[in-house]
Amino acid sequence: MCLGVPGKIVSKDNYTATADINGNQVVVSIAMTPDVVPGQYVLIHAGFAMQIIDENEAEETMGWLLELRKLGEAYEN
């Protein structure tokens, strides 16, 4: 199964962009989403911005991912 993580584009340079993922800055390829602009959200997988998404979808997806993390931590304890 593949997992796309939402990130907010903070800057763009040719074929790469810097995205903020829950406070972490990562450089991603925007070869598949060349029209993205700073301020927009994307789904990121394997270092690629795969799809532009809206802010609501990004927040909902991140909420689910954080819930999964909590469940995993509870299981480990």
The CATH number of the domain holding residue 52 is 2.30.30.140
List per-block mean pLDDT (blocks of 10 residues) for the chain, which spans 77 residues: 90 97 97 98 97 96 88 77
Q: Tell me how many domains the chain contains.
A: 1
Domain that includes residue 38, residue range:
5-76
pLDDT at 1: 61
Strand blocks (E) in 14-68: 16-21, 24-29, 41-45, 48-53
**Confidence (pTM):** 0.86
CA distances to 26, 62, 68 from 23, rounded to whole Å, are 10, 12, 18
